[in-house]
Structure 1
Amino acid sequence: MTCSGLPHGNSSGINSFGMTILPEATDMPGPGRRQVLAGGGAFLAAPFISRPARAADRDVVIIGAGAAGLAAARALSRRGLSVALIEASGRIGGRAHTESATFGVPFDQGCTFLHNARRNPFVKYARASGFAISSLPPDDATKVYTGAHEASAAQYRAMDRRYRAVHAALLGAGREGRDISMGAAIAQLGRSRWQPLAGFWHSLATGQELEDVSVVDWWNAADGKDYHCRAGYGALVAHFGRGLPVHLSTRAREINWSGSGVKVVTNKGTLRARAAIVTVSLGVLAAEAIRFVPPLPVWKQRAIDGFAMGSYVTIGLQFKQQRVLPVPDNAWFWIDGRPDELLEFMSNMGGWGVSRANAAGHLGLELEGAGRKEAVDFALSRLKSALGPRITRLFARGSFTGWTGNPLTFGTWAMARPGHAGARKLLAEPVGKRIFLAGEACHEDMFATCHGALLSGQTTARHVAHLLKNPL
């Protein structure tokens, strides 16, 4: 989910869901190096169960073993309910995925930053479990290059004025409840030399072009201090989920809720339960990759259609020496340019000798279509334009991850379209008291984050447990 370190929403009026991690998780010992590098491999898959003769095999079927599904499974099990947790891929974690095969060190292909540290349960969990986390460097550690040189003091002041003007216009429109696009909210500002960069900084939080996102939805997003986990956010989520029985490589094809409970048809058989928690991305639901029988109510389908999945791509760049970019470890670096060539870079993440580049919106989609080699070459060409030919000599290897073409996600995170900011509340509303959605998109102000997914999973599990134990 979001990977930008820039402010992207309103920091006031937060309704906290609390920070307590379930006891089953916080009591776990800290990870060893082998467990960390193994990522999602430190858990067991349960045998698949299908018993047609019984009304329900489990109290609840949970579809998707990302942060929301893992949190829901723990919460329900703690409350004495039986759970079947299924996952279409071969690992847990969803869009939080740390891998070490490419560079020989941990590298996050998805969720990267522990946003909103004060309200992020993963911060407390990381510290209790022995993971090294640290806050990102201060803003004055970042640098912007214009051409082959760092921006001048006068240029920095001009950038700052434009950024503040854009941010103020967005905040004003959001505060007033004008459910227009972010692009429309800043249209009255007029032209500026620094408008592309200022707009790019704000689009990073959405994964989309500003014209495609509701300014009210953006304004509703909570803001706060960001942390980085040296072993990888994906490794942290995998550690949180270890020990939970999960049916891996089990794809839900149909959810039949025509009876008193639910029947979940998968590629490995059918599971029956009293209720289902669906934690797959809105991209999967919008693509109708899972069939509902009968179809979801019109109000729920319209709520889903009110969102679009962002494109936020990650390019990993390993060099033959650790510090290549002219900023400290984990600090941002930008190169001014045209809107269609803007990338954000982060230097030497976690001290592992790997930097990263990110693109969002149209450029992200274009790079996904071009492929790994072209994306890596593009990032290197941008660095070379600012730092010179030594970048090419020092380059060792690269990687590329995009989520839009992944049939298990169809994008990174969900943002409301203009005019649809109110749809987010409808996502979390149950259908027939037995179909529940959970995940980052369902949290009221922590959407687009991994911990927002976790909190949504916990909240939904509490709701489901209450309904199942008090059916009338």
Structure 2
Amino acid sequence: MRHSLTQLSAVLTVLSATTNALPTNGHSNEKHGSCAKTKVAILGAGAAGVAAAQNLTASGIKDFMIVEHNDYIGGRLRNQEFGKNAQGKPYIIELGANWVEGIGSEETNENPIWLLAKKHKLKSTYSDYDKYKTFDHEGETDWSDKIDEYDAAYEKAAAEAGRIMVDNLQDTSARGALRTAGWRPEKDDMHAQAADWWGWDFEAAWTPDESGLVYGVAGGNASFGYFSDVSNLVIDQRGYNIILEEEAKEFLRKNDKRLRLSTTVEGIKYDKKGVKITTKDGGCIEADYAICTFSVGVLQNNVVEFKPALPEWKQSAIDQFAMGTYTKIFMQFNESFWDDETQFLLYADPIERGRYPLFQSLNAKGFAEGSNILFATVTGEQAWRVERQTDEETMEQMLEVLQLMFPKKKIPKPTAFTYPRWSTESWAFGSYSNWPVGMTLEKHQNMRANVERLWFAGEANSAEMYGFVHGAWTEGRYIGHKIGNIINGKAGDDEFDMTRYETLHGTTFEDELDEENGWLFPYNIEEGGV
């Protein structure tokens, strides 16, 4: 299976749709100059936020408040109505996270999101990554041999990643390891470039050149090895986020004032005594503790003012981690012009790597049969370009590509067309995270670590399952449990602060900057020689 050979996913953390637990604004006290007070403020109503609230509740702590920018429980796991079925009713499509990745089994280990999916009868269908066809600008063309070559090289690179981790050797980029394993796609071999995208970018939303090897591989193994290599595409017409809405109903009442939707956080002031949150509508919340579940993209873009500023050891870790963009573009047609038995249509553009490289059919058996919906996926720089274009520009480009893929068909204009702009959303700034070249486990831990009474959770904070919904869920539960122990007096002396590394040293000492190591022009780096 493809997902046993790769890492990350098109999945993300926080979720969408509407909820029966809609709150009132509850800002009456704040309008008179005093802040609302709570034991724990949870910033973000996504997978991490809901999981944290659930664990606090399980610890007997009900004095918490959840603050969410959007008007629904969720965020990046977001859906909307699209097109029409035969009865004229719109379909529900997932703009963000779409898969339960590595579902697991009762005989091995079950993914916690899969357990929620079963509990709430979430409808999903197995994604068979062997059911693909390959195309280029001359139509259907078999370049599956390139995919096989990539997969063989990946297996060798993954084995090398394991050796590097066990022997504590220096990490490398995924690209470097793939080259060493024999995968060296030429820049003008566009079939190989397309196979390269399918093998890595489709999951990571970044190229192998931009991705670290060891934790890139480990991130996949943790999900697809520990759980299973089976992944299901969610097609539930209630929306993927229904599992979070239903979980939230177990601890939130209808119109519960502890849930504040449509509330944007502008400032976070923290110290040893507590945390004060200010919001765009003029409100404020004073909490003994706060759990920030914002995406790493938000934390990198100064959307929220921290007072004091986050310490350098933490901010530098946040700034180094990567926030990827994975954009799905949906089209509905009056009828299908593609093979309904095929789930994935892979396209090798003759000029640009990753230009509309994948179309997925929802007409395939077990999905939204008869919907005549195709959705394309673009990542990285191609996604940024598309998200800054108009719908009309993108539609025209995609129709040109589809006409090249099916030269004997006359490709009509779609009857419905839409896609999100994840990279420009001020509450997300991307789709999900990726482990970059040069990031160490210790520096990643700095991203996780609390500062005073301000704690952090979210998919990017999961060292093993970053980029996945279950990574966000796991981190939220972990932090919720820790704070619950602290409040209930059950925490040990070493639990009041998470491990952090205020100084991280490299591997090269100053006396090694010499001729023997190729350092031919001595100068003082501290004086600006670099």
When normalised by structure 2's length, the TM-score is 0.76
Residue type at the aligned position of 2:426: P
**Correspondence for 2:217:** 219
**2:254 counterpart of 1:274:** no
**How far off its partner does 1:283 sit?**
0.7
**What is aligned with 2:111?**
120
Task: Measure how far apart 1:340 and its partner are.
Answer: 4.6
Q: Is the 8 A contact 2:296 2:460 kept in 1?
A: yes
Q: Which residue of 2 aligns with 1:251?
A: 264
Q: Which residue of 2 aligns with 1:150?
A: 140
Correspondence for 1:135: 126
**Residues 54-453 of structure 1: pairs in structure 2 closer than 5 A:** 57-81=37-61, 82-101=63-82, 103=84, 104-118=90-104, 119-137=110-128, 139-152=129-142, 155-169=143-157, 171-173=159-161, 175-177=163-165, 178-188=170-180, 189=182, 190-192=184-186, 193=189, 194-201=191-198, 202-221=200-219, 222=222, 223=224, 224-231=229-236, 232-242=239-249, 244=252, 245=256, 246-268=259-281, 269-321=283-335, 323-328=336-341, 331-337=343-349, 338-348=352-362, 350-351=367-368, 352-388=371-407, 390=409, 392-393=411-412, 395-422=414-441, 423-432=443-452, 434-453=453-472
Structure-2 change in CA distance of 1:160 and 1:336 (3 Å): same
SS at match of 1:39: coil
CA deviation after TM superposition for structure 1 residue 392, in Å:
2.6
Separation in 2, partners of 1:45, 1:318: 36
User: Given that residues 337 and 409 in structure 2 are in contact (C-alpha distance below 8 angstroms), is that contact kept between their aligned partners in structure 1?
Assistant: no
Mapped partners of 2:338, 2:163: distance in 1: 38
CA distance in 2, matches of 1:167, 1:288: 40
Mark the structure with the bigger radius of gyration.
Answer: 2
Question: Displacement of 1:284 after TM fit?
Answer: 0.6
Greater shift in the superposed pair: 41-50 or 74-83: 41-50
Does structure 2 conserve the Cα–Cα contact (< 8 Å) formed by 1:197 and 1:339?
yes
Deviations 1:216-255 (A, max 9, x none): 2311213231112221423444444447342011111111
Superposition CA RMSD, Å = 2.7
Deviation at 1:281? 0.3
How far the C-alpha of 1:131 sits from its partner, in A, is: 2.4
Q: Residue 132 and residue 161 in structure 1: after superposition, are their counterparts in 2 closer, same or farther (change >3 A)? A: same
List gaps (5 residues or longer) in structure 1: 11-35
How far is the alpha carbon of 1:99 from its aligned partner?
1.0
CA distance in 2 between partners of 1:157 and 1:140 (Å): 13
Amino acid at match of 2:438: G
State how far apart, in whole Å, the 1-side matches of 2:147 and 2:58 are: 51
User: How far apart, in 2, do the equivalents of 1:340 and 1:114 lie?
Assistant: 24
CA distance in 2, matches of 1:379, 1:170: 34
Deviation of the 1:463 alpha carbon: 0.9
**SS in structure 1 opposite 2:241?**
helix
CA distance in 2, matches of 1:5, 1:342: 20
Partner amino acid for 2:70? S
Letter in 1 for 2:203: A
1:48-59 paired onto structure 2 within 5 Å: 48-49=26-27, 57-59=37-39
Distance in 2 (alpha carbons) for counterparts of 1:355 and 1:373: 17
Give how far 1:415 is off: 1.6
Moved more, 100-109 or 165-174: 165-174
Q: Is the 8 A contact 1:196 1:339 kept in 2?
A: yes
Count of residue pairs brought into register by the alignment: 437
Equivalent position of 2:506 in the other structure:
none
C-alpha distance after superposition, 1:361-418 (max 9, x if no partner): 1111111122322223322222221113746326322111131111111111112321
What amino acid does structure 1 have at the position aligned with 2:197? F
Task: Quote the offset at 1:348 in angstroms.
Answer: 1.4
Quote the sequence identity (%): 23
| Aligned AA (2:94) | D
Unaligned runs of 5+ in 2: 9-14, 85-89, 105-109, 494-530
> Deviation of residue 145 (structure 1)?
1.9
Q: 1:382 to 1:53 in 2, by over 3 A?
A: closer
Instruction: Supply the distance in 1 between the matched residues of 2:36 and 2:21 (Cα, whole angstroms).
Output: 25
For 2:83 and 2:67, how far apart are their aligned partners in 1?
Answer: 28
Opposite residue 131 of structure 1, the aligned amino acid is L
Opposite residue 233 of structure 1, the aligned amino acid is Y
- The one-letter code matched in structure 1 to 2:127 is L
Q: TM-score, normalised by structure 1?
A: 0.85
* Alpha-carbon distance in structure 1 between the residues aligned to 2:431 and 2:78: 12
Q: How far apart in 2 are the matches of 1:271 and 1:260?
A: 14
CA contact (8 A) 2:5 2:155 kept: no
Partner of 2:483: 464
Match of 1:20 in 2: none
Could you tell me whether the CA contact under 8 Å between 1:262 and 1:273 is conserved in 2?
Answer: yes
Q: Retained in 2: the 8 A contact 1:416–1:424?
A: no
Alpha-carbon spacing, 1:356–1:174, altered in 2? closer, same or farther (3 Å)? farther
Matched residue type, 2:406: L
Structure 2: which amino acid aligns with 1:39? A
Indicate if the aligned counterparts of 2:194 and 2:348 stay in contact, CA closer than 8 A: yes
